[in-house]
């Protein structure tokens, strides 16, 4: 797992232009760096400029309190080691800078990170910052990298490249996404999970030819917003989504779907809502949901029954033409109808063993 190091307590380490120039051939201009950059770009990182990294000591190695001998040897040695340590001597470490903290991708403790730098053995070849506009995106990038770079201690590698790991990672992503965006839909979630899966596995030979969409399916089953699916329309959000998918959708208009039982009530309710918002009212009832079989009759009935109401609020009744409905029907967008088949009987999964009369 990643560890967070707080770097806020101490002073900034400065580098001279000569330092930067000298070390660039071991860092940005090196072949290894270029190789790694391809991968890191793929998983959503950018390399930080050499000077922008805050190389500062942290708690554990004190910078404020000098030792009993007088001078702070540890601090001095650490500073030197960081400066000299830019020369690549061994395999690269995976270090990420994020919001002023450094994440270490190898699963080592921060003591180990520091001691490795301190001992001149492992110098970080690059400092990476996760891309992303929001905190959610940035953390997701960090998480996906853990799978992609397989950045655990070597002893744990065998148990890390399994489908279970990817599932865990996707579940945590989904949970974080739900927190960040409480009004999410299934469509949003599946896009987020697919992106995250791609980041963690695309271009990785270990996962070539492996079908990972069943894992997303499992995660969707666990984490999707079951109260907000797009097939039943029993709350306002769902209805809004359904209406927006209509071909005739116009942002300027207000839509109020009505059912057969509550057609008139819903219209009145909708009008009162719209009036509160000071908007012109357009009503688009679906043909089959009207109390009368003909749409023109419905307008007559409504107008005669609510004559004053219609005059007072300047209501325009706007009905979908039957020919247009057919088109919508063919496209599969039939959202305005609430459980159409329920008029006949509820649909249950078909049981082959059951004999029908």
Partner 1 sequence: MMKIKKLPNIDRRAYKGLFKPENPQKYKGNPKKIVYRSSWEKRFMKYCDKTKEIIEWGSEEIVLYYRGVDNKSHRYFPDFYMKVRQPNNTFKKFLVEIKPKKQTRKPQPGKIKTAYYKRELLTYETNKRKWATAFAWCKKHDMSFKILTEDHLKTF
Site residues (CB under 8 A) for partner 1? Answer: 186-187, 190-191, 194, 213-214, 216-218, 220-221, 224, 226, 229-231, 241, 244-245, 329-335, 340-341, 344-345, 347-350, 356-357
Q: Which is nearer to partner 1, 10 or 224 (CB)?
A: 224
Rg (CA), the chain: 31
Q: Which is nearer to partner 1, 232 or 312 (CB)?
A: 232
Q: Which is nearer to partner 1, 147 or 174 (CB)?
A: 174
Largest CA distance in the chain: 99
Q: Give min distance, CB of 139 to partner 1, in A.
A: 23
Find all residues with CB under 8 Å of 44, minimum gap 6, and list them: 130, 131, 132, 137, 141, 144, 199
Q: Give min distance, CB of 272 to partner 1, in A.
A: 29
Q: Considering only CA atoms, which of 51, 75, 53, 80 is closest in space to residue 64? A: 75
Task: Report the residue count for the chain.
Answer: 357
Q: Give min distance, CB of 222 to partner 1, in A.
A: 9
Burial of 160 (0-12, 13-18, 19+ CB in 10 A): middle
Q: Give min distance, CB of 229 to partner 1, in A.
A: 5
Q: Give min distance, CB of 174 to partner 1, in A.
A: 12
Q: Give min distance, CB of 322 to partner 1, in A.
A: 15
Q: How many CB atoms lie within 10 A of CB 189?
A: 21
Number of H helices, E strands in the chain: 13, 7
The Cα 193–Cα 355 span in angstroms is 42
- Torsions phi, psi of 3, nearest 5? -120, 150
Contact 309, 315 (CB under 8 A): yes
Q: Which is nearer to partner 1, 133 or 348 (CB)?
A: 348
The Cα 202–Cα 195 span in angstroms is 10
Q: Give min distance, CB of 357 to partner 1, in A.
A: 7
Q: Which is nearer to partner 1, 81 or 201 (CB)?
A: 201
Q: Which is nearer to partner 1, 65 or 348 (CB)?
A: 348
Q: Which is nearer to partner 1, 179 or 348 (CB)?
A: 348
């Amino acid at each position: 797992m990643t560890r967070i190091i707080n770097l806020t307590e101490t002073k900034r380490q400065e580098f001279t232009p000569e330092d930067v120039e000298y070390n660039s051939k071991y860092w940005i201009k090196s072949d290894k760096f270029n190789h790694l950059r391809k991968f890191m770009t793929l998983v959503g990182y950018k390399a930080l400029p050499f000077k922008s990294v805050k190389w500062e000591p942290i708690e554990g190695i004190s910078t404020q309190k000098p030792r009993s001998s007088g001078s702070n040897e540890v601090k001095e040695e650490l500073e030197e080691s960081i400066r000299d340590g830019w020369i690549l001597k061994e395999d690269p470490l995976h270090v990420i800078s994020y919001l002023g903290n450094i994440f270490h991708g190898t699963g080592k403790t921060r003591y180990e990170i520091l001691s490795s730098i301190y001992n001149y053995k492992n110098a970080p070849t690059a400092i990476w910052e996760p891309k992303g506009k929001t905190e959610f995106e940035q953390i997701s990038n960090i998480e996906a990298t853990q799978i992609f770079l397989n950045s655990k201690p070597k002893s744990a590698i065998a148990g890390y490249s399994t489908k279970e790991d990817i599932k865990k990672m996707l579940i945590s992503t989904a949970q974080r996404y739900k927190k960040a965006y409480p009004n999410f839909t299934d469509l949003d979630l599946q896009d987020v999970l697919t992106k995250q899966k791609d980041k963690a596995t695309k271009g990785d030979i270990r996962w070539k030819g492996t079908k990972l969409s069943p894992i997303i399916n499992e995660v969707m089953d666990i984490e999707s917003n079951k109260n907000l699916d797009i097939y039943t329309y029993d709350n306002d959000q769902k209805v809004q989504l359904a209406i927006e998918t209509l071909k005739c959708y116009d942002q300027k208009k207000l839509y109020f779907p009505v059912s057969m039982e509550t057609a008139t009530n819903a219209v009145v309710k909708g009008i009162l809502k719209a009036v509160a918002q000071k908007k012109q009212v357009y009503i688009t009832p679906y043909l089959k949901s009207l109390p009368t079989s003909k749409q023109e009759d419905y307008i007559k009935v409504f107008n005669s029954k609510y004559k004053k109401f219609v005059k007072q609020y300047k209501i325009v009744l706007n009905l979908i033409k039957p020919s247009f409905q057919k088109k919508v029907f063919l496209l599969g967008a039939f959202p305005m109808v609430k459980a159409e088949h329920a008029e006949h009987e509820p649909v249950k999964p078909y049981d082959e063993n059951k004999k029908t009369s």
